[in-house]
Structure 1
Amino acid sequence: MNITIKNCNSIDSADISIEQGKLNVRYGVNGTGKSTIAKCLTLAARSEDIGVLCPFKHKASTEAATKPFIQGAESFSSVLVFNEDYVRQFVFQADEVIANSFNIFVRTPEYEAHLATIETHIKGIKDSFKDSADLNKLITDLQTLSGAFGKSKDGWAASGAWARGPGMGNRVVHIPEGLEDYKLFIQADDNVKWLKWQMEGTTYSSKSDNCPFCTSSIESKKATIQKVRENYDAKAVEHINNVSHVVGELGTYFTEDTRQNISTLTKSAGQISPEEKAYLVDLRRQIDLLLEKCQKLRFLSFSSLKDAGKLSTLLEDLRIKLEFFPSLNSDSARAVIDPINAKIDEVLTDIGSLQGEVGKQKSAIAKSIRNNKVH
């Protein structure tokens, strides 16, 4: 079966062959897209939006040709990914059954019945994500904004899009003196393309005193033309565009004060200060915590419940308390988050039944292992 994948994380375009019902192995150095292929196939099999895999460079684009795309996986209903997380499930633990042992031993009708009952209990929580386009877009935009900070232990990477874009000063908004005549080009939607074109064109200025485009004299303007090259970097402008776009998309999901502060920081003329960076790092911390909770709720299952002890405590901990997210505690955010918390409350009203089903399932697994134990 041939699969085509485009515009997913590090993959611009890929054509791969997959054999159903078999282990398909992909070799490659880190960063070539092995995990992305697995994620793309998994999302497609679940009929979930692959938009979460959109490369950062295309986040601000509205062109259909830049959107994540997969073709050929329409017949997939499930995908198992053989990665480190999968292997970790099958490590023996002292005096304990094998984690996720149902993936090794025969799935009995008893097991399937308990699993179906457990899924019925938590279906409302998981459906909150499937049924809300606004919630899914919020998650995608928050992931994009978090990614703009780059990968770093302290939450701020010098190589990140924010640091290399708005963090160096927004010269799309604040055009340097002497370059005002270029304003329409610098502030156009396709300013990155124009900058690349302009900078490539300056290489011809040493060949003649005439414009390489219209052949009119540019002798008196060469210094100004060179000044564009000295003050602008196409990649930095691309980062400014992308960060500004996603901040605009999130809009009212931020509180009013946060929205004003973020807008100011994306449009600042100068380099970011230590206190401004600390403010943004704290914002990222809130975003990442919210995303972590959403991820756990979205993929809630027996596997995440079986080792929890008291399920009521687990679910209470997963409740999204926006009052402790000072930058995101807005009416718009509550409109999409409150329904999730309401579904958690519904499960908590009958938590005893869910706790019992999880216990029965664990007992059934232990029984299956005992019956298949090798002495």
Structure 2
Amino acid sequence: MTQLTVVISNCNSVDRAEISVLKGTLNIKYGPNGLGKSTLAKAVVSQIRGDGTLGDLMPFKSRGKADAPPPSVRGIDGRASALVFDEDYVQQFVFQKDEVLKNSFDIFIKTPDYVAAMDAIDVLLAGVKQTLTNNTEIEQTISDFKELRDAFGKSKPGNIPKNSKIHKAFGTGNKTENIPEALKPFETFIKSQEPSKWISWQIKGNEYLKLGDNCPYCATPLVGEGQKDAALAVEKEFDATAVGHLNTLKAVIERLGKYFSEKCCENLQKVTKTKIDLTAAEVSFLMSLKAEIDGMITQLEGLRAILLFLSARRGPNP
């Protein structure tokens, strides 16, 4: 084997160093930190590559001085390549964050048998994958199921919390479907597409009724106590937030209707249009429905996660 004597001068903190390199073998240089081992390696590689990076090793004390000797490496003329097994190499190829060896999946796992098995799984799941991938209807359905589930709040078995959206919307009866007699003149507004906005708007004007007998919105006289009482009754009978929850949940339930059995839809209709407080049987029905919704969400998200996992583990197509 050929032994080379390499002389390195004016590189970083190294004024002059002479090292022996045996061609075609692994040469190990060791010593205390700060001795200049990395500088020597960089200098040798830069000289062989001839890419102009050798000048980057100009010592700090020589920078800006026109007569300062430049970095130089002698003794390796005619050499075409060199590999340096330094810390950067180790970080790149050996100590990966999540695996011991770079591309270990392709080396140890992605065998022909593995690829064939994955292809067979793809065939079995092709229909499911096509249904769940980029399907806006499925995504909307999952979102609706989650919204309906979350409306129950932190419920305990057999109980719907009074601060939950479900209880606020249906717990004390649906007055937008069963309008009190005194509020019949407002039926058009109460049964509008977004009644909560009208109710909130109407209630804000009630404080001005104390200032006179004219309507605070149109300034026409409110004849008799009956009309003023009717205006005040809206605030007494309705809560804008609760009506907003009711309206939103009704829309969600309507969108999910095709996924419920006929019997379930009948029970939901009774719950959403009830005139009085929910009965124990209705609460029980709603809690069992929530349990089924929880299970459905878990299954849909689990299936979607499996498909994503399989796609990720297959890696790029050859």
Taking structure 1 as the reference length, what is the TM-score of the superposition? 0.50
Contact 1:126 1:297 survives alignment (8 Å): no
SS of residue paired to 1:103: coil
RMSD across aligned positions (CA): 2.8
Report the counterpart of residue 175 of structure 1 in structure 2: 179
Among the aligned pairs, what percent are the same residue?
26
**Alpha-carbon contact 1:149-1:157 (below 8 Å) kept:** yes
Structure 2 CA distance for aligned equivalents of residues 107 and 278 of structure 1: 54
Q: Does 1:113 align with 2:110?
A: yes
Partner of 1:103: 98
One-letter amino acid of the counterpart of residue 198, structure 2 = W
Gap regions ≥5 residues in structure 1: 1-100, 305-356, 359-375
| 1:318-338 deviation digits (Å, cap 9, x = unpaired) | xxxxxxxxxxxxxxxxxxxxx
Q: Could you tell me which residue of structure 2 aligns to residue 142 of structure 1? A: 145
1:256 offset after TM fit, Å?
A: 0.9
Q: 1:126·1:299 contact (CA, 8 Å) conserved in 2?
A: no
Distance of 1:182 and 1:243 partners within structure 2:
22
Aligned to 2:247: 241
Task: State the 1:167 CA deviation.
Answer: 1.9
The C-alpha deviation readout for 1:237-265, integer Å capped at 9, x for no partner, is: 01110111111111221111111111111
Secondary structure of the residue that 1:284 maps to in structure 2?
Answer: helix
Amino acid at match of 1:157: P
Listed as ranges, the matches of 1:155-234 within 5 Å are 156-218=160-222, 220=224, 221-234=227-240
- Classify 1:126/1:199 alpha carbon distance in 2 versus 1 (closer, same or farther; 3 Å): same
Report if aligned partners of 1:149, 1:156 keep a CA contact under 8 Å in 2.
yes
Q: 1:140 deviation in Å?
A: 2.3
Q: Which has the larger radius of gyration?
A: 2
Check conservation: 1:129, 1:135, Cα contact below 8 A: yes
Structural mapping, 1:1-375, within 5 Å: 103-105=98-100, 106-108=102-104, 109-110=106-107, 113=110, 120=119, 121-122=121-122, 124=126, 125-130=128-133, 132-154=135-157, 156-218=160-222, 220=224, 221-300=227-306
* AA aligned opposite 1:144: E
Give the AA of the match of 1:246. Answer: V
Deviation string 1:51-92 (CA, Å, 9 cap, x unpaired) is xxxxxxxxxxxxxxxxxxxxxxxxxxxxxxxxxxxxxxxxxx
- Contact 2:194 2:247 (8 Å CA) reproduced: no
Indicate conservation of the 8 Å contact 1:164/1:239, yes or no: yes
**TM-score, with structure 2 as normaliser:** 0.58
- Say which SS state the counterpart of residue 209 (structure 1) adopts: coil
The count of aligned residue pairs is 206
Any gaps of 5 or more consecutive residues in structure 2?
1-95
Greater relative contact order (CA < 8 Å, ≥ 6 in sequence): 1
SS at 2:110's partner residue? Answer: helix
- Structure-1 separation of matches of 2:302 and 2:103: 25
Residues 170 and 272 of structure 2 are in contact (CA less than 8 Å); yes or no, is this contact kept in structure 1? yes
In the TM superposition, residue 156 of structure 1 has moved relative to its aligned partner by 2.9
Q: Is the CA contact 1:126–1:300 (under 8 Å) kept in the aligned structure 2?
A: no
Contact 2:209/2:216 (8 A) holds in 1: yes
Is the deviation greater in 200-209 or in 145-154? 145-154
Residues 188 and 302 from structure 1, CA distance in 2 versus in 1: closer, same or farther, beyond 3 angstroms? closer
Number of the residue aligned with 1:315: none
SS in 2 for 1:179: helix
1:91-135 deviations in whole A, cap 9, x for unaligned? xxxxxxxxxx97354443326736877765356344431154443
